[in-house]
Amino acid sequence: MTLGFVSGFSNGARHTALVFLAENAHRRPETVQGWYFYNKTKYYRMILGGFRRGAHTGLQLAGWVSGWCLLDLLTESVRSYIAEKRGEERPTHTSLDRHGLGHWFDGAVAGVSTGLISAVGFRLSAPTVPRMVLLGALAGGTTGALRDLRNALLHSNDMHPF
């Protein structure tokens, strides 16, 4: 959420400054005192516009990340449920099942789903949709693979004590 707020704040402040300039271009100050109050007003509006856009962008990013995490968790739960119904046991020290599916699969499914939802929600053009889905699959699969790697490294001493 902080990253979204900072990004939105800088974007909103810059946008507000340009709007202020466009609205006041016809009445530019001519005195030193006039320039002082012109810039003071502009800076206050920039701060207010930055906070507004920052809050909006931060909440929007938090929503997308929460949705991705929920889809990732849901995929992992479904994968565990299916493995349990098949009678397969998952080792406690790893997240990979018998078929080699792990968090990388959960992340990729969550990424593809998030990419599709965002492509439909933002009404992207037809050539852009596969790119968005591929980007989601790569980003989600990478984060899941990093989780698998972390689990493997954490529990490598359990398998090979030296």
pLDDT of residue 153: 83
Question: How does residue 152 score in pLDDT terms, banded at 50, 70 and 90?
Answer: confident
The domain boundary residue, chosen from 19, 51, 66? 66
Mean pLDDT over residues 144-156, rounded?
84
Is 82 domain-assigned?
A: no
Q: Is the model's pLDDT at 89 over the cut of 80?
A: no
Domain holding 16, by residue range, is 1-66
Choose among 108, 109, 141, 112: nearest CA to 129: 112
Q: Does residue 51 share a domain with residue 9?
A: yes
Radius of gyration for the chain, computed over Cα atoms and rounded to the nearest angstrom: 24
- Judge contact between 121 and 108, C-beta under 8 A: no
Q: Is the model's pLDDT at 83 over the cut of 90?
A: no
Mean pLDDT of the chain: 88
Q: Give the separation between CA 75 and CA 61, rounded to whole angstroms.
A: 21
Q: Does residue 156 share a domain with residue 118?
A: yes
Q: Does residue 60 share a domain with residue 109?
A: no
Split into its structural domains, the chain has a count of: 2
Q: Does residue 17 share a domain with residue 61?
A: yes
Say how many CA atoms lie within 13 Å of 152 toward its Cβ: 10
Q: What angle do CA 112, 115, 116 make, to 5 degrees?
A: 85
Q: Does residue 157 share a domain with residue 99?
A: yes
Residues 17-36: pLDDT tens digits?
999 999 999 988 999 999 99
Q: Does residue 48 share a domain with residue 101?
A: no
Q: Does residue 1 share a domain with residue 58?
A: yes
Q: Does residue 16 share a domain with residue 55?
A: yes
DSSP 127: T
pLDDT of residue 162: 45
- Judge contact between 58 and 4, C-beta under 8 A: yes
Residues 111-121: pLDDT tens digits?
999 999 999 99
Q: Does residue 104 share a domain with residue 44?
A: no
pLDDT of residue 58: 96
pLDDT of residue 150: 87
Q: Does residue 99 share a domain with residue 52?
A: no
